[in-house]
Structures are given as structure tokens and as C-alpha cells.
Amino acid sequence: MVKNILVPIDFRVASLNTLKLAMDYCKDQKVNAVLIYAQHLDDSITELMFYSPRKIIRSLQSAEFNHALEIIKNRFEGILGDIKIELFHGNNKNFLNNFLSAQKIEEIFIPKTYELKITKRAFDPIPVIKTANIRVVELEWNVTYNKTEQEQLIALFN
């Protein structure tokens, strides 16, 4: 039985630590991961006409982030099935629960201390995630991540 899990990210390498710890947490169970990036939907008509989540996601992914994702994929090759990256637009409970049932999510993992980086249009999804109808696991990182540190692959190695 494959378990679907959800992990919020901010497209920094450090935020992938949650996924790494979640995989450790899941032990030998097969897992499909859905990574979400929370962002308000643009309200201009032209933006909505040419709305393409793939394009937005691609523009947010840095080379370092992709390397880090590949590293995690290689590390957990046996148990980690698909990794999907999705945009999360609604900052309310109903949207979250619809999203969770559409993606068939069974468990959510959020970082306990790490703060997701909030850029212009992004928002922090963790408060709304905590209201979910399914189990939310808070993962504690044993190393505090230095926020001033440059965006580097090193962030994954704690």
C-alpha cells in the first residue's frame, strides 16, 4: 500500500529537510510525496487567462533545489515513488480539505521550527494545514538552520 504524504516547501534547499525527515519517519513504507508551495492566486484577468502552474513552479526551482530533490530521490529510491510539486492557492480550511481529498493525502508533515520563506505573493500555509482533517506530524530538526546563509546545497546536510 502506497501512502500519500504532503510537505510544504518554499523552494529553498533547507525546506526539503522536512521531506527527508518525513521519509525517515515513514521507515519502510512506500510513499508518494506531494510538495506544496503556498501562493495567492493573482487577481488580474490577463494573469488568470495565461495561468500555468507548471511555468510558475519551473521559474521557482533553482538548480540547487533540483539537485537537492534528486539527492533525496536517490537516497530513498526504494520507498519514494512520485514527487509532485503543486501550487496551493487557498488559505482556508475548505480549500485544504478539498485539496487533500483530491490528492488522496493520508498524512501531512510540517517542520516544527523552520520558518518557510515568505516572498511577495506567497503565504505561510502551516496555520491552515494544522486545521486539516487528517493527521499532521510536526517534525523537529535537530539543527537550526542559519537563515542568513546563502542558498546552498549544504542546507540539506545536517
At 105, which amino acid appears?
I
Residue from 55, 67, 130, 135 touching another protein (CB under 8 A): that is 67
C-alpha to C-alpha distance for 105 and 92, rounded to whole angstroms: 17
State which residue, 66 or 98, has the beta carbon closest to another protein: 66
Q: Spell out the residues 6+ positions from residue 148 whose beta carbon is closer than 8 angstroms to its own.
A: none
User: Site map for another protein, 91-130, x if CB under 8 A?
Assistant: ----------------------------------------
61 counts as binding another protein under rule CB under 8 A: no
Number of residues binding to another protein, judged by CB under 8 A: 20
Position among 78, 102, 120, 142 found at the interface with another protein (CB under 8 A): 78
> Is residue 63 within a helix (H) or strand (E), and if so which, with residue range?
helix 63-75
The least CB distance from residue 3 to another protein, in Å, is 18
Residue 109, helix vs strand vs coil? strand
Is 77 near another protein (CB under 8 A)?
Answer: yes
Q: Quote the least distance from Cβ 76 to another protein, whole Å.
A: 7
Q: Which helix (H) or strand (E) holds 126?
A: helix 126-129
Asked if 142 interacts with another protein (CB under 8 A), we say no
Neighbours of 63 (CB within 10 A): 8
19-20-21-26 Cα dihedral, nearest 10 degrees: 80
Chain-centroid distance of CA 142 in Å reads 19
Among residues 6 and 68, whose Cβ is nearest to another protein?
Answer: 68
Residue of 14, 22, 37, 76 interacting with another protein (CB under 8 A)? 76
Q: Does 70 bind another protein (CB under 8 A)?
A: yes
Q: Are 42 and 87 in contact (CB under 8 A)?
A: no
User: Site residues (CB under 8 A) for another protein?
Assistant: 20, 24, 66-68, 70-78, 150, 152-154, 156-157
